Protein backbone atom coordinates (compact mmCIF):
# COMPACT_ATOMS: atom_id res chain seq x y z
CA UNK A 1 0.00 0.00 0.00
CA UNK A 2 1.28 3.47 -0.92
CA UNK A 3 2.16 5.79 1.93
CA UNK A 4 0.20 9.05 2.10
CA UNK A 5 1.74 12.52 1.83
CA UNK A 6 -0.47 15.46 2.75
CA UNK A 7 0.73 18.73 1.19
CA UNK A 8 -0.49 21.89 2.90
CA UNK A 9 -0.53 24.69 0.34
CA UNK A 10 -0.84 22.17 -2.49
CA UNK A 11 -1.88 24.85 -5.00
CA UNK A 12 1.00 27.18 -4.16
CA UNK A 13 4.44 27.70 -5.64
CA UNK A 14 6.28 24.98 -3.69
CA UNK A 15 3.23 22.84 -2.98
CA UNK A 16 2.49 22.30 -6.68
CA UNK A 17 5.96 20.89 -7.36
CA UNK A 18 5.86 18.77 -4.20
CA UNK A 19 2.59 17.18 -5.33
CA UNK A 20 4.02 16.42 -8.77
CA UNK A 21 7.31 15.00 -7.49
CA UNK A 22 5.82 12.89 -4.70
CA UNK A 23 2.89 11.53 -6.75
CA UNK A 24 4.98 8.70 -8.22
CA UNK A 25 5.68 7.16 -4.81
CA UNK A 26 2.97 8.50 -2.49
CA UNK A 27 -0.77 8.90 -2.41
CA UNK A 28 -1.13 12.69 -2.37
CA UNK A 29 -3.59 14.42 -0.04
CA UNK A 30 -3.77 17.99 -1.42
CA UNK A 31 -4.75 20.59 1.18
CA UNK A 32 -5.34 24.27 0.40
CA UNK A 33 -6.01 27.28 2.58
CA UNK A 34 -9.72 26.76 1.95
CA UNK A 35 -9.48 23.25 3.43
CA UNK A 36 -7.48 24.00 6.56
CA UNK A 37 -6.61 26.84 8.92
CA UNK A 38 -3.41 25.67 10.61
CA UNK A 39 -3.87 28.26 13.38
CA UNK A 40 -6.86 26.21 14.61
CA UNK A 41 -5.58 23.01 16.26
CA UNK A 42 -9.03 21.40 16.26
CA UNK A 43 -9.18 21.87 12.49
CA UNK A 44 -5.68 20.38 12.16
CA UNK A 45 -6.58 17.38 14.32
CA UNK A 46 -9.84 16.77 12.45
CA UNK A 47 -8.41 16.75 8.93
CA UNK A 48 -5.47 14.50 9.77
CA UNK A 49 -7.52 12.11 11.89
CA UNK A 50 -9.71 11.67 8.81
CA UNK A 51 -6.97 11.44 6.15
CA UNK A 52 -4.36 9.52 8.24
CA UNK A 53 -1.24 10.69 6.37
CA UNK A 54 2.26 9.29 6.88
CA UNK A 55 3.85 12.63 6.01
CA UNK A 56 2.55 16.19 6.30
CA UNK A 57 4.51 18.75 4.29
CA UNK A 58 3.73 22.30 5.37
CA UNK A 59 4.36 25.04 2.80
CA UNK A 60 1.81 27.44 4.33
CA UNK A 61 3.40 30.65 5.58
CA UNK A 62 2.75 34.34 6.16
CA UNK A 63 5.73 35.45 4.07
CA UNK A 64 5.09 39.00 2.90
CA UNK A 65 8.00 40.42 4.87
CA UNK A 66 6.90 44.10 5.17
CA UNK A 67 3.36 43.04 6.12
CA UNK A 68 4.73 40.89 8.95
CA UNK A 69 6.15 44.07 10.53
CA UNK A 70 2.68 45.62 10.48
CA UNK A 71 0.80 42.63 11.91
CA UNK A 72 3.31 40.61 13.93
CA UNK A 73 0.65 38.73 15.89
CA UNK A 74 -0.92 37.50 12.66
CA UNK A 75 2.48 36.46 11.30
CA UNK A 76 3.26 34.56 14.50
CA UNK A 77 -0.16 32.90 14.48
CA UNK A 78 0.58 31.32 11.07
CA UNK A 79 4.35 30.80 11.11
CA UNK A 80 4.70 29.99 14.81
CA UNK A 81 1.47 28.71 16.33
CA UNK A 82 0.37 27.06 13.08
CA UNK A 83 3.55 25.00 13.05
CA UNK A 84 3.16 24.23 16.75
CA UNK A 85 -0.33 22.86 16.06
CA UNK A 86 0.96 20.65 13.24
CA UNK A 87 3.80 19.41 15.44
CA UNK A 88 1.52 18.60 18.39
CA UNK A 89 -0.89 16.67 16.19
CA UNK A 90 2.05 14.94 14.46
CA UNK A 91 3.12 13.56 17.82
CA UNK A 92 -0.43 12.48 18.65
CA UNK A 93 -1.16 10.80 15.30
CA UNK A 94 2.40 9.62 14.54
CA UNK A 95 2.90 11.34 11.19
CA UNK A 96 6.18 12.88 10.06
CA UNK A 97 6.14 16.68 9.80
CA UNK A 98 8.10 18.44 7.06
CA UNK A 99 8.33 22.14 7.83
CA UNK A 100 9.83 24.65 5.38
CA UNK A 101 11.76 27.61 6.76
CA UNK A 102 13.97 30.41 5.46
CA UNK A 103 17.52 31.68 5.02
CA UNK A 104 16.33 34.87 6.71
CA UNK A 105 16.84 33.31 10.16
CA UNK A 106 20.48 34.48 9.83
CA UNK A 107 21.75 38.05 10.21
CA UNK A 108 24.37 37.88 7.43
CA UNK A 109 27.32 38.83 9.62
CA UNK A 110 29.19 35.59 8.92
CA UNK A 111 29.74 36.59 5.28
CA UNK A 112 30.32 33.01 4.20
CA UNK A 113 27.83 30.19 3.62
CA UNK A 114 25.74 29.19 6.61
CA UNK A 115 25.56 25.56 7.70
CA UNK A 116 22.88 23.99 9.86
CA UNK A 117 24.89 24.33 13.07
CA UNK A 118 25.36 28.12 12.73
CA UNK A 119 23.50 30.21 15.29
CA UNK A 120 20.42 32.01 13.93
CA UNK A 121 19.89 35.68 14.65
CA UNK A 122 16.76 36.86 12.80
CA UNK A 123 16.52 40.58 12.02
CA UNK A 124 12.80 40.99 11.31
CA UNK A 125 9.36 39.78 12.37
CA UNK A 126 8.98 37.32 9.50
CA UNK A 127 12.31 35.64 10.27
CA UNK A 128 11.61 35.54 14.00
CA UNK A 129 8.25 33.86 13.49
CA UNK A 130 9.74 31.33 11.07
CA UNK A 131 12.50 30.51 13.57
CA UNK A 132 9.86 29.98 16.26
CA UNK A 133 8.17 27.55 13.86
CA UNK A 134 11.46 25.69 13.43
CA UNK A 135 11.81 25.21 17.18
CA UNK A 136 8.22 24.07 17.54
CA UNK A 137 8.66 21.47 14.76
CA UNK A 138 12.00 20.24 16.11
CA UNK A 139 10.92 20.03 19.74
CA UNK A 140 7.24 19.04 19.72
CA UNK A 141 7.36 16.05 17.41
CA UNK A 142 10.07 13.43 17.19
CA UNK A 143 9.58 12.66 13.49
CA UNK A 144 10.43 15.95 11.77
CA UNK A 145 12.34 17.48 8.92
CA UNK A 146 12.88 21.24 9.02
CA UNK A 147 14.10 22.50 5.66
CA UNK A 148 15.50 26.00 5.13
CA UNK A 149 15.20 27.35 1.59
CA UNK A 150 16.30 30.55 -0.13
CA UNK A 151 14.83 32.90 -2.76
CA UNK A 152 12.41 30.33 -4.13
CA UNK A 153 10.76 30.60 -7.53
CA UNK A 154 8.50 28.22 -9.44
CA UNK A 155 6.12 27.87 -12.36
CA UNK A 156 3.04 28.60 -10.21
CA UNK A 157 2.70 32.11 -8.68
CA UNK A 158 2.90 32.54 -4.92
CA UNK A 159 -0.68 32.68 -3.59
CA UNK A 160 -0.01 35.72 -1.39
CA UNK A 161 2.61 37.55 -3.45
CA UNK A 162 1.00 36.84 -6.81
CA UNK A 163 4.31 36.02 -8.46
CA UNK A 164 8.01 35.64 -7.77
CA UNK A 165 11.19 37.61 -8.42
CA UNK A 166 11.40 36.52 -12.07
CA UNK A 167 7.81 37.46 -12.94
CA UNK A 168 8.19 40.76 -11.07
CA UNK A 169 11.42 41.73 -12.79
CA UNK A 170 10.28 40.75 -16.31
CA UNK A 171 7.09 42.75 -15.79
CA UNK A 172 9.15 45.75 -14.66
CA UNK A 173 11.33 45.43 -17.77
CA UNK A 174 8.24 45.72 -19.98
CA UNK A 175 6.71 48.63 -18.14
CA UNK A 176 9.69 50.82 -17.10
CA UNK A 177 12.38 52.67 -19.08
CA UNK A 178 15.08 51.11 -16.88
CA UNK A 179 15.42 48.54 -14.09
CA UNK A 180 17.56 48.90 -10.98
CA UNK A 181 18.35 45.92 -8.75
CA UNK A 182 20.38 45.65 -5.56
CA UNK A 183 23.88 44.23 -5.95
CA UNK A 184 24.82 43.91 -2.27
CA UNK A 185 22.33 41.33 -1.04
CA UNK A 186 23.80 37.84 -1.53
CA UNK A 187 21.78 34.63 -1.49
CA UNK A 188 21.09 31.44 -3.48
CA UNK A 189 17.80 31.64 -5.44
CA UNK A 190 16.40 28.14 -5.85
CA UNK A 191 13.62 26.64 -8.03
CA UNK A 192 10.81 24.85 -6.22
CA UNK A 193 11.25 21.93 -8.62
CA UNK A 194 14.65 21.11 -7.11
CA UNK A 195 13.45 21.61 -3.54
CA UNK A 196 10.64 19.15 -4.20
CA UNK A 197 12.99 16.65 -5.87
CA UNK A 198 15.48 16.75 -2.99
CA UNK A 199 12.72 16.65 -0.38
CA UNK A 200 11.56 13.40 -1.95
CA UNK A 201 15.07 11.96 -1.59
CA UNK A 202 15.29 13.14 2.02
CA UNK A 203 12.02 11.43 2.98
CA UNK A 204 13.59 8.06 2.21
CA UNK A 205 16.10 8.60 5.02
CA UNK A 206 15.21 8.25 8.69
CA UNK A 207 17.52 11.13 9.46
CA UNK A 208 15.25 13.65 11.12
CA UNK A 209 16.21 17.22 11.94
CA UNK A 210 17.26 20.50 10.37
CA UNK A 211 18.47 20.79 6.76
CA UNK A 212 19.52 23.46 4.28
CA UNK A 213 18.22 22.91 0.75
CA UNK A 214 19.39 25.55 -1.73
CA UNK A 215 21.20 25.66 -5.05
CA UNK A 216 24.98 25.67 -5.06
CA UNK A 217 26.98 28.89 -5.34
CA UNK A 218 25.94 32.42 -4.43
CA UNK A 219 24.77 35.50 -6.31
CA UNK A 220 23.43 39.02 -5.84
CA UNK A 221 19.95 39.88 -7.05
CA UNK A 222 21.57 42.15 -9.67
CA UNK A 223 23.74 39.39 -11.16
CA UNK A 224 20.78 37.00 -10.99
CA UNK A 225 18.75 39.55 -12.98
CA UNK A 226 21.56 39.93 -15.54
CA UNK A 227 21.24 36.23 -16.37
CA UNK A 228 17.47 36.61 -16.72
CA UNK A 229 17.90 39.53 -19.12
CA UNK A 230 20.59 37.74 -21.14
CA UNK A 231 18.65 34.47 -21.39
CA UNK A 232 15.36 36.14 -22.35
CA UNK A 233 17.07 38.75 -24.56
CA UNK A 234 15.57 41.66 -22.63
CA UNK A 235 16.96 45.00 -23.86
CA UNK A 236 15.68 47.29 -21.08
CA UNK A 237 18.68 49.02 -19.42
CA UNK A 238 19.66 47.30 -16.16
CA UNK A 239 21.66 49.04 -13.43
CA UNK A 240 23.00 47.96 -10.04
CA UNK A 241 22.17 49.83 -6.86
CA UNK A 242 22.89 49.45 -3.18
CA UNK A 243 20.32 48.37 -0.63
CA UNK A 244 21.26 51.61 1.13
CA UNK A 245 19.86 53.57 -1.82
CA UNK A 246 16.45 51.88 -1.68
CA UNK A 247 13.50 52.67 0.53
CA UNK A 248 13.67 49.79 3.00
CA UNK A 249 11.33 49.53 5.98
CA UNK A 250 12.49 46.09 7.06
CA UNK A 251 15.90 44.90 8.23
CA UNK A 252 17.18 42.06 6.07
CA UNK A 253 20.44 40.10 6.01
CA UNK A 254 22.85 41.30 3.33
CA UNK A 255 24.26 37.76 3.14
CA UNK A 256 22.09 34.65 3.60
CA UNK A 257 23.79 31.99 1.48
CA UNK A 258 22.99 28.44 2.63
CA UNK A 259 25.34 25.48 2.41
CA UNK A 260 23.67 22.04 2.24
CA UNK A 261 26.14 20.37 4.59
CA UNK A 262 23.78 17.78 6.07
CA UNK A 263 22.41 16.76 2.68
CA UNK A 264 26.01 16.34 1.50
CA UNK A 265 26.83 14.26 4.57
CA UNK A 266 23.87 11.99 3.73
CA UNK A 267 25.07 11.69 0.13
CA UNK A 268 21.88 13.20 -1.34
CA UNK A 269 22.87 16.79 -2.11
CA UNK A 270 21.60 16.82 -5.69
CA UNK A 271 20.97 20.55 -5.88
CA UNK A 272 22.31 22.18 -9.06
CA UNK A 273 24.39 25.36 -9.40
CA UNK A 274 22.09 28.41 -9.23
CA UNK A 275 22.85 29.64 -12.78
CA UNK A 276 22.27 26.24 -14.40
CA UNK A 277 18.96 25.93 -12.53
CA UNK A 278 17.88 29.44 -13.54
CA UNK A 279 18.71 29.11 -17.24
CA UNK A 280 16.97 25.74 -17.40
CA UNK A 281 13.88 27.17 -15.67
CA UNK A 282 13.75 30.20 -17.98
CA UNK A 283 14.09 28.10 -21.14
CA UNK A 284 11.30 25.78 -20.00
CA UNK A 285 8.82 28.38 -18.80
CA UNK A 286 9.65 31.71 -20.46
CA UNK A 287 11.29 31.10 -23.84
CA UNK A 288 8.61 30.71 -26.52
Q: Where are the alpha helices (DSSP H) in 24-124?
A: 41-51, 65-70, 72-76, 82-93
- Helix then strand then coil, % of the chain, to nearest 5: 45, 20, 40
Using the CB atoms, write b or e for 220-232: b if 16+ within 10 Å: bbbebbbebbebb
The DSSP annotation for 166-200 comes to HHHHHHHHHHSS-EEEESS-EE--EEHHHHHHHHH
Say how many C-beta atoms besides its own lie within 10 A of residue 19's C-beta: 20
The DSSP annotation for 196-221 comes to HHHHHHHTTS---EEEE---BS-EEH
Confirm whether 193 is a catalytic residue.
Answer: no
Say how many C-beta atoms besides its own lie within 10 A of residue 268's C-beta: 18
Catalytic residue among 126, 193, 211, 222: 126
DSSP β-bridge partners for residue 56 = 6, 97
* Half-sphere exposure at residue 149, Cβ-oriented, CA atoms within 13 angstroms: 26
Active-site annotation, residues:
126
Amino acid sequence: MMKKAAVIGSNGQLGTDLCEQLATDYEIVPITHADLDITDIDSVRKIFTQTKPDFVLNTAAFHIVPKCEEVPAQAFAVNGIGTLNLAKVAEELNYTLVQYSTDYVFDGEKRKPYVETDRPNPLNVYANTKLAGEYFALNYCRKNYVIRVSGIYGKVPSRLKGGNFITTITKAAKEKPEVRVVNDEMLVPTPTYWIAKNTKALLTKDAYGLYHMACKGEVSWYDFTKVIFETLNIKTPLYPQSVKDTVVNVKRPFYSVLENKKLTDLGINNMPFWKDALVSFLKEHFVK
